[in-house]
Structure 1
Amino acid sequence: MTNHATRQTSPVHALIVVDIQKDATEGARAVPDAARLLDRTADLIARARKGGALVVHVQNDGQPGTGDEPGTPGWALHHPVEESATETVIRKTRDDGFHGTALQELLTGAGASALAVCGVMSEMCVQATARTALELGYRVVMPHDAHATHDIPAAPGISDVVPAAAVSRVAEWGLGSDVEVVPFAADVSFAAPDPSAD
Protein backbone atom coordinates (compact mmCIF):
# COMPACT_ATOMS: atom_id res chain seq x y z
CA MET A 1 0.00 0.00 0.00
CA THR A 2 1.39 3.40 -0.91
CA ASN A 3 1.28 6.21 1.62
CA HIS A 4 0.89 9.12 -0.77
CA ALA A 5 -0.13 9.75 -4.33
CA THR A 6 2.68 10.95 -6.56
CA ARG A 7 0.61 12.82 -9.13
CA GLN A 8 -2.76 14.54 -9.11
CA THR A 9 -4.59 14.51 -12.39
CA SER A 10 -8.27 15.27 -11.75
CA PRO A 11 -9.18 18.93 -11.17
CA VAL A 12 -9.78 20.64 -7.85
CA HIS A 13 -12.55 23.19 -7.30
CA ALA A 14 -10.87 25.53 -4.82
CA LEU A 15 -7.44 26.92 -4.02
CA ILE A 16 -6.69 27.78 -0.40
CA VAL A 17 -3.74 30.20 -0.22
CA VAL A 18 -2.60 30.19 3.40
CA ASP A 19 -0.88 33.24 4.92
CA ILE A 20 1.08 34.48 1.91
CA GLN A 21 1.71 37.70 3.80
CA LYS A 22 4.66 40.05 3.54
CA ASP A 23 6.03 39.17 6.98
CA ALA A 24 6.69 35.61 5.79
CA THR A 25 7.70 36.32 2.19
CA GLU A 26 9.76 39.54 2.20
CA GLY A 27 12.76 40.86 4.12
CA ALA A 28 14.73 39.27 6.94
CA ARG A 29 11.85 37.09 8.16
CA ALA A 30 11.05 35.58 4.77
CA VAL A 31 11.00 31.81 4.37
CA PRO A 32 13.95 30.29 2.48
CA ASP A 33 13.56 30.55 -1.30
CA ALA A 34 10.56 32.85 -0.91
CA ALA A 35 10.86 33.88 -4.57
CA ARG A 36 10.11 30.29 -5.66
CA LEU A 37 7.15 30.08 -3.30
CA LEU A 38 5.72 33.36 -4.59
CA ASP A 39 6.18 32.26 -8.20
CA ARG A 40 4.40 28.94 -7.58
CA THR A 41 1.52 30.44 -5.61
CA ALA A 42 1.05 33.20 -8.20
CA ASP A 43 0.84 30.53 -10.90
CA LEU A 44 -1.71 28.54 -8.92
CA ILE A 45 -3.85 31.63 -8.34
CA ALA A 46 -3.75 32.62 -12.02
CA ARG A 47 -4.71 29.14 -13.20
CA ALA A 48 -7.42 28.74 -10.55
CA ARG A 49 -9.00 32.01 -11.72
CA LYS A 50 -8.78 30.93 -15.34
CA GLY A 51 -10.35 27.57 -14.52
CA GLY A 52 -13.26 29.12 -12.63
CA ALA A 53 -12.23 27.63 -9.29
CA LEU A 54 -12.83 29.31 -5.96
CA VAL A 55 -9.77 31.18 -4.68
CA VAL A 56 -9.58 31.80 -0.93
CA HIS A 57 -6.75 33.92 0.49
CA VAL A 58 -6.39 33.09 4.18
CA GLN A 59 -4.86 35.98 6.14
CA ASN A 60 -3.55 35.56 9.68
CA ASP A 61 -4.29 38.23 12.27
CA GLY A 62 -1.23 38.07 14.52
CA GLN A 63 -1.00 39.20 18.11
CA PRO A 64 0.03 42.79 18.93
CA GLY A 65 3.75 43.24 18.36
CA THR A 66 4.11 40.32 15.94
CA GLY A 67 5.17 40.64 12.33
CA ASP A 68 1.66 39.94 11.06
CA GLU A 69 -0.25 42.19 13.45
CA PRO A 70 -3.27 43.57 11.57
CA GLY A 71 -2.60 46.92 9.94
CA THR A 72 1.18 46.52 9.87
CA PRO A 73 3.17 46.18 6.62
CA GLY A 74 3.93 42.52 7.36
CA TRP A 75 0.24 41.67 7.70
CA ALA A 76 -0.53 42.63 4.10
CA LEU A 77 -1.11 39.89 1.55
CA HIS A 78 1.62 39.61 -1.08
CA HIS A 79 -0.62 38.63 -3.99
CA PRO A 80 -3.30 41.08 -5.17
CA VAL A 81 -6.83 39.87 -4.52
CA GLU A 82 -9.46 40.13 -7.23
CA GLU A 83 -12.54 40.25 -5.01
CA SER A 84 -15.48 38.53 -6.71
CA ALA A 85 -18.01 35.76 -6.23
CA THR A 86 -15.17 33.28 -6.75
CA GLU A 87 -12.31 35.03 -4.92
CA THR A 88 -12.22 36.33 -1.38
CA VAL A 89 -10.17 36.81 1.79
CA ILE A 90 -10.83 35.00 5.05
CA ARG A 91 -9.09 36.25 8.19
CA LYS A 92 -8.12 33.90 10.99
CA THR A 93 -6.51 34.04 14.43
CA ARG A 94 -5.47 30.37 14.78
CA ASP A 95 -3.32 28.05 12.69
CA ASP A 96 -6.36 26.27 11.24
CA GLY A 97 -8.03 28.27 8.48
CA PHE A 98 -11.36 26.62 9.35
CA HIS A 99 -11.30 27.51 13.06
CA GLY A 100 -13.76 30.30 13.82
CA THR A 101 -14.06 31.30 10.15
CA ALA A 102 -16.60 30.92 7.36
CA LEU A 103 -14.27 28.78 5.22
CA GLN A 104 -16.35 25.62 5.39
CA GLU A 105 -19.57 27.50 4.63
CA LEU A 106 -17.89 29.20 1.70
CA LEU A 107 -16.70 25.91 0.24
CA THR A 108 -20.04 24.22 0.80
CA GLY A 109 -21.94 27.10 -0.75
CA ALA A 110 -19.73 27.00 -3.83
CA GLY A 111 -20.08 23.23 -4.20
CA ALA A 112 -16.32 22.68 -3.82
CA SER A 113 -15.41 19.14 -2.77
CA ALA A 114 -11.75 19.10 -3.81
CA LEU A 115 -9.13 21.62 -2.69
CA ALA A 116 -5.50 22.50 -3.25
CA VAL A 117 -3.72 23.96 -0.22
CA CYS A 118 -0.55 26.05 -0.45
CA GLY A 119 1.26 28.73 1.55
CA VAL A 120 3.08 29.07 4.87
CA MET A 121 4.07 27.70 7.30
CA SER A 122 4.14 24.06 6.18
CA GLU A 123 4.00 22.42 9.61
CA MET A 124 1.69 24.97 11.19
CA CYS A 125 -1.07 26.79 9.31
CA VAL A 126 -0.81 24.85 6.06
CA GLN A 127 -0.87 21.46 7.76
CA ALA A 128 -3.59 22.47 10.24
CA THR A 129 -5.86 23.74 7.47
CA ALA A 130 -5.24 20.69 5.29
CA ARG A 131 -5.86 18.34 8.22
CA THR A 132 -9.24 19.85 9.02
CA ALA A 133 -10.19 19.77 5.34
CA LEU A 134 -9.42 16.05 5.28
CA GLU A 135 -11.40 15.48 8.48
CA LEU A 136 -14.36 17.29 6.91
CA GLY A 137 -14.26 14.95 3.92
CA TYR A 138 -12.68 17.18 1.28
CA ARG A 139 -10.25 15.81 -1.25
CA VAL A 140 -7.00 17.66 -0.48
CA VAL A 141 -4.06 18.19 -2.83
CA MET A 142 -0.75 19.66 -1.64
CA PRO A 143 1.72 20.78 -4.31
CA HIS A 144 5.13 20.16 -2.74
CA ASP A 145 6.81 23.23 -4.24
CA ALA A 146 4.04 25.63 -3.18
CA HIS A 147 4.34 25.56 0.60
CA ALA A 148 7.29 26.52 2.78
CA THR A 149 8.57 27.16 6.28
CA HIS A 150 11.71 28.06 8.26
CA ASP A 151 14.48 25.86 9.62
CA ILE A 152 13.80 24.48 13.09
CA PRO A 153 16.65 25.78 15.27
CA ALA A 154 19.02 23.40 17.01
CA ALA A 155 17.96 22.32 20.49
CA PRO A 156 20.80 21.16 22.78
CA GLY A 157 20.33 17.54 23.75
CA ILE A 158 17.46 17.14 21.28
CA SER A 159 18.56 17.79 17.70
CA ASP A 160 20.71 19.79 15.34
CA VAL A 161 19.07 22.31 13.01
CA VAL A 162 16.28 20.70 11.00
CA PRO A 163 16.35 22.20 7.48
CA ALA A 164 13.19 23.88 6.24
CA ALA A 165 12.88 21.49 3.30
CA ALA A 166 12.81 18.52 5.68
CA VAL A 167 10.22 20.21 7.88
CA SER A 168 7.96 20.80 4.86
CA ARG A 169 8.25 17.18 3.76
CA VAL A 170 7.44 15.89 7.24
CA ALA A 171 4.43 18.22 7.36
CA GLU A 172 3.09 16.55 4.22
CA TRP A 173 3.86 13.06 5.49
CA GLY A 174 2.19 13.77 8.83
CA LEU A 175 -1.16 14.25 7.09
CA GLY A 176 -1.30 10.53 6.34
CA SER A 177 -2.41 8.57 3.33
CA ASP A 178 -5.47 10.59 2.35
CA VAL A 179 -3.69 13.78 1.28
CA GLU A 180 -2.55 13.88 -2.35
CA VAL A 181 0.99 15.26 -2.44
CA VAL A 182 2.10 16.21 -5.95
CA PRO A 183 5.64 17.31 -6.83
CA PHE A 184 4.86 20.58 -8.57
CA ALA A 185 2.25 23.32 -8.54
CA ALA A 186 2.02 22.77 -12.30
CA ASP A 187 0.57 19.29 -11.58
CA VAL A 188 -2.59 20.86 -10.13
CA SER A 189 -5.50 21.45 -12.48
CA PHE A 190 -8.63 23.44 -11.76
CA ALA A 191 -12.32 23.37 -12.64
CA ALA A 192 -15.31 25.40 -11.55
CA PRO A 193 -17.23 23.88 -8.65
CA ASP A 194 -20.81 22.76 -9.09
CA PRO A 195 -23.10 24.43 -6.52
CA SER A 196 -25.85 21.93 -7.33
CA ALA A 197 -23.64 18.92 -6.50
CA ASP A 198 -24.55 16.86 -3.43
Structure 2
Amino acid sequence: MTQRARPVDALIVVDVQSAFVTGEGAVPAAGRIVDRTSDLIERARRDGAFIAHLQNDGPSGAEDEPHTPGWELHHAVKPGPAEVVIRKPHDDGFEDTALGEALTGAGVRAVAVCGVMSEMCVQATARTALALGYRVVVPHDAHATQDIPAAPGIGEAVPAATVSRVAAYALGSDAETTVTAADVTFTAPAAPAAR
Protein backbone atom coordinates (compact mmCIF):
# COMPACT_ATOMS: atom_id res chain seq x y z
CA MET A 1 0.00 0.00 0.00
CA THR A 2 1.35 3.42 -0.89
CA GLN A 3 0.93 6.56 1.12
CA ARG A 4 0.98 10.23 0.24
CA ALA A 5 4.28 11.78 1.26
CA ARG A 6 4.47 14.97 3.30
CA PRO A 7 5.66 17.79 1.04
CA VAL A 8 9.34 18.06 0.18
CA ASP A 9 11.01 21.34 -0.70
CA ALA A 10 13.57 19.98 -3.18
CA LEU A 11 13.83 17.53 -6.05
CA ILE A 12 17.14 15.90 -6.92
CA VAL A 13 17.07 14.46 -10.44
CA VAL A 14 20.00 12.05 -10.68
CA ASP A 15 21.73 11.45 -14.02
CA VAL A 16 18.71 11.50 -16.33
CA GLN A 17 21.10 11.75 -19.26
CA SER A 18 20.58 10.71 -22.87
CA ALA A 19 22.85 7.65 -22.63
CA PHE A 20 20.74 6.16 -19.85
CA VAL A 21 17.21 6.88 -21.11
CA THR A 22 17.50 6.68 -24.92
CA GLY A 23 19.01 4.27 -27.42
CA GLU A 24 20.62 0.89 -26.89
CA GLY A 25 22.11 1.74 -23.48
CA ALA A 26 18.82 2.89 -21.96
CA VAL A 27 17.60 1.32 -18.74
CA PRO A 28 14.70 -1.13 -19.31
CA ALA A 29 12.27 1.25 -17.59
CA ALA A 30 13.43 4.34 -19.53
CA GLY A 31 9.97 5.35 -20.73
CA ARG A 32 8.56 5.22 -17.22
CA ILE A 33 11.52 7.09 -15.74
CA VAL A 34 11.28 9.87 -18.32
CA ASP A 35 7.52 10.20 -17.68
CA ARG A 36 7.85 10.19 -13.87
CA THR A 37 10.81 12.54 -13.70
CA SER A 38 9.19 14.92 -16.17
CA ASP A 39 6.05 15.05 -14.02
CA LEU A 40 8.05 15.53 -10.82
CA ILE A 41 10.05 18.38 -12.38
CA GLU A 42 6.90 20.08 -13.66
CA ARG A 43 5.15 19.88 -10.28
CA ALA A 44 8.26 20.94 -8.35
CA ARG A 45 8.56 24.04 -10.57
CA ARG A 46 4.87 24.84 -10.19
CA ASP A 47 5.03 24.61 -6.40
CA GLY A 48 8.28 26.56 -5.98
CA ALA A 49 10.52 23.69 -4.84
CA PHE A 50 14.28 23.78 -5.40
CA ILE A 51 15.45 21.49 -8.24
CA ALA A 52 18.95 20.07 -8.68
CA HIS A 53 19.71 18.21 -11.90
CA LEU A 54 22.77 16.02 -11.32
CA GLN A 55 24.89 15.29 -14.39
CA ASN A 56 27.47 12.53 -14.20
CA ASP A 57 30.87 13.12 -15.79
CA GLY A 58 31.88 9.66 -17.01
CA PRO A 59 35.45 8.71 -17.86
CA SER A 60 36.95 9.07 -21.33
CA GLY A 61 35.22 6.70 -23.73
CA ALA A 62 32.18 6.13 -21.49
CA GLU A 63 28.67 6.70 -22.80
CA ASP A 64 28.39 9.68 -20.42
CA GLU A 65 31.78 11.22 -21.20
CA PRO A 66 31.42 15.01 -20.85
CA HIS A 67 30.36 16.94 -23.94
CA THR A 68 29.23 13.83 -25.85
CA PRO A 69 25.60 13.27 -26.91
CA GLY A 70 25.06 10.64 -24.19
CA TRP A 71 26.21 13.04 -21.48
CA GLU A 72 23.50 15.61 -22.25
CA LEU A 73 20.61 15.96 -19.79
CA HIS A 74 17.38 14.54 -21.17
CA HIS A 75 15.09 17.14 -19.57
CA ALA A 76 15.26 20.83 -20.38
CA VAL A 77 16.52 22.91 -17.46
CA LYS A 78 15.17 26.33 -16.47
CA PRO A 79 18.31 27.74 -14.83
CA GLY A 80 17.87 30.20 -12.01
CA PRO A 81 18.11 30.44 -8.24
CA ALA A 82 15.61 27.58 -7.78
CA GLU A 83 16.88 25.24 -10.53
CA VAL A 84 20.51 24.27 -11.02
CA VAL A 85 22.67 21.75 -12.84
CA ILE A 86 25.40 20.17 -10.76
CA ARG A 87 28.05 18.09 -12.48
CA LYS A 88 29.44 15.24 -10.45
CA PRO A 89 32.54 13.06 -10.71
CA HIS A 90 31.36 10.29 -8.33
CA ASP A 91 28.24 8.23 -7.64
CA ASP A 92 27.36 10.37 -4.61
CA GLY A 93 25.92 13.69 -5.78
CA PHE A 94 27.31 15.39 -2.68
CA GLU A 95 30.93 14.22 -3.04
CA ASP A 96 33.19 16.93 -4.49
CA THR A 97 30.22 19.02 -5.67
CA ALA A 98 28.27 22.08 -4.56
CA LEU A 99 25.03 20.14 -3.98
CA GLY A 100 25.16 20.44 -0.19
CA GLU A 101 25.85 24.17 -0.35
CA ALA A 102 23.06 24.67 -2.88
CA LEU A 103 20.51 22.86 -0.71
CA THR A 104 21.62 24.71 2.43
CA GLY A 105 21.60 28.05 0.63
CA ALA A 106 18.04 27.44 -0.57
CA GLY A 107 16.83 26.50 2.92
CA VAL A 108 15.94 22.93 1.92
CA ARG A 109 14.86 20.48 4.64
CA ALA A 110 13.38 17.55 2.69
CA VAL A 111 14.29 16.05 -0.69
CA ALA A 112 12.80 13.67 -3.23
CA VAL A 113 15.47 11.74 -5.12
CA CYS A 114 14.78 10.20 -8.54
CA GLY A 115 16.68 9.09 -11.63
CA VAL A 116 19.31 6.47 -12.49
CA MET A 117 21.04 4.20 -11.52
CA SER A 118 19.15 2.95 -8.47
CA GLU A 119 21.92 0.99 -6.76
CA MET A 120 24.66 3.46 -7.59
CA CYS A 121 24.10 7.20 -7.91
CA VAL A 122 20.50 7.35 -6.65
CA GLN A 123 21.25 5.29 -3.55
CA ALA A 124 24.59 7.01 -2.82
CA THR A 125 23.02 10.47 -3.07
CA ALA A 126 19.99 9.51 -0.96
CA ARG A 127 22.22 7.90 1.68
CA THR A 128 24.33 11.06 2.08
CA ALA A 129 21.19 13.22 2.20
CA LEU A 130 19.97 11.05 5.09
CA ALA A 131 23.36 11.33 6.84
CA LEU A 132 23.17 15.11 6.50
CA GLY A 133 19.79 15.18 8.24
CA TYR A 134 17.44 15.71 5.30
CA ARG A 135 14.09 13.97 5.16
CA VAL A 136 14.44 11.76 2.08
CA VAL A 137 11.73 10.42 -0.23
CA VAL A 138 12.71 7.99 -3.00
CA PRO A 139 9.55 7.27 -5.00
CA HIS A 140 9.72 3.63 -6.01
CA ASP A 141 8.56 4.20 -9.59
CA ALA A 142 10.88 7.15 -10.32
CA HIS A 143 14.29 5.45 -10.25
CA ALA A 144 15.68 2.62 -12.36
CA THR A 145 18.76 0.70 -13.37
CA GLN A 146 20.02 -2.03 -15.70
CA ASP A 147 19.58 -5.79 -15.34
CA ILE A 148 22.49 -7.51 -13.61
CA PRO A 149 23.73 -10.23 -15.98
CA ALA A 150 24.20 -13.80 -14.86
CA ALA A 151 27.66 -14.66 -13.58
CA PRO A 152 28.69 -18.33 -13.76
CA GLY A 153 29.42 -19.67 -10.31
CA ILE A 154 27.92 -16.58 -8.64
CA GLY A 155 24.28 -16.34 -9.64
CA GLU A 156 21.60 -15.96 -12.25
CA ALA A 157 20.60 -12.71 -13.90
CA VAL A 158 18.79 -10.22 -11.67
CA PRO A 159 16.03 -8.14 -13.29
CA ALA A 160 16.46 -4.37 -13.12
CA ALA A 161 13.19 -3.93 -11.20
CA THR A 162 14.47 -6.22 -8.44
CA VAL A 163 17.81 -4.41 -8.30
CA SER A 164 15.99 -1.07 -7.94
CA ARG A 165 13.73 -2.34 -5.18
CA VAL A 166 16.63 -3.79 -3.20
CA ALA A 167 18.65 -0.58 -3.64
CA ALA A 168 15.85 1.51 -2.15
CA TYR A 169 15.12 -1.02 0.59
CA ALA A 170 18.81 -0.97 1.58
CA LEU A 171 18.45 2.70 2.55
CA GLY A 172 16.64 1.51 5.67
CA SER A 173 13.56 2.78 7.42
CA ASP A 174 14.73 6.41 7.55
CA ALA A 175 14.04 6.89 3.83
CA GLU A 176 10.49 6.95 2.50
CA THR A 177 10.56 4.44 -0.36
CA THR A 178 7.00 3.10 -0.67
CA VAL A 179 5.41 6.21 -2.19
CA THR A 180 4.85 6.63 -5.91
CA ALA A 181 6.00 9.66 -7.87
CA ALA A 182 2.36 10.77 -8.06
CA ASP A 183 2.21 10.77 -4.25
CA VAL A 184 5.16 13.16 -3.88
CA THR A 185 4.06 16.70 -3.13
CA PHE A 186 6.16 19.86 -3.16
CA THR A 187 6.42 23.15 -1.36
CA ALA A 188 8.81 26.07 -1.57
CA PRO A 189 11.72 25.96 0.87
CA ALA A 190 11.57 28.09 3.98
CA ALA A 191 13.95 31.04 4.05
CA PRO A 192 17.50 29.87 4.84
CA ALA A 193 18.62 30.32 8.43
CA ALA A 194 20.75 33.39 9.06
CA ARG A 195 24.42 32.64 9.52
Give unmatched runs, 5+ long, in structure 1: none
* Counterparts of 1:21 and 1:163, CA distance in 2: 21
1:65 aligns with: 61
Q: Which amino acid aligns with 1:59?
A: Q
Q: Distance in 2 between matches of 1:139 and 1:6?
A: 18
Q: Where does residue 133 of structure 1 map in the other structure?
A: 129
Give a deviation string over 1:153-186, Cα, whole Å, max 9, x none.
1011111000000000000111011000134100
- Name the CA distance, whole Å, in 1 between partners of 2:4 and 2:191: 23
Deviations 1:34-82 (A, max 9, x none): 1111000000000000010001000000000000000100000000000
SS in 2 for 1:17: strand
Unaligned runs of 5+ in 2: none
Show the counterpart of 2:161. 165
Q: Indicate the residue corresponding to 1:107 in structure 2.
A: 103
Give 2:172's match in structure 1, choosing from 151, 176, 184.
176
CA RMSD of aligned residues (A): 1.2
Contact kept in structure 2, 1:8 and 1:141, CA below 8 Å: no
* Offset, 1:195: 1.9
- 1:18 alignment counterpart: 14
Partner SS for 1:74: helix
Displacement of 1:84 after TM fit?
Answer: 1.0
**What is residue 49 of structure 1 aligned with on the other side?**
45
CA deviations on 1:6-42 (whole Å, 9 max, x unpaired) are 4243100000000000000000000002111100000
Between the aligned partners of 1:149 and 1:81, the Cα distance in structure 2 is: 23
1:119 corresponding residue in structure 2: 115
- Secondary structure of 2:27's aligned partner: coil
Q: Is the 8 A contact 2:139 2:178 kept in 1?
A: yes
3-state DSSP class of the match of 1:28?
coil
- The one of 92, 96, 100 equivalent to 1:96 is 92
- The one-letter code of the counterpart of 2:113 is V
Aligned length: 194
Matching residue of 1:30: 26
What pairs with 1:140-159 in structure 2 (closer than 5 Å)? 140-159=136-155
1:39 to 30, 35, 41: 35
Percent identical:
64
**One-letter identity of the residue aligned with 1:44:** L
Deviations 1:108-152 (CA, angstroms, capped at 9, x unpaired): 111101000000000000000000000000000011110000000
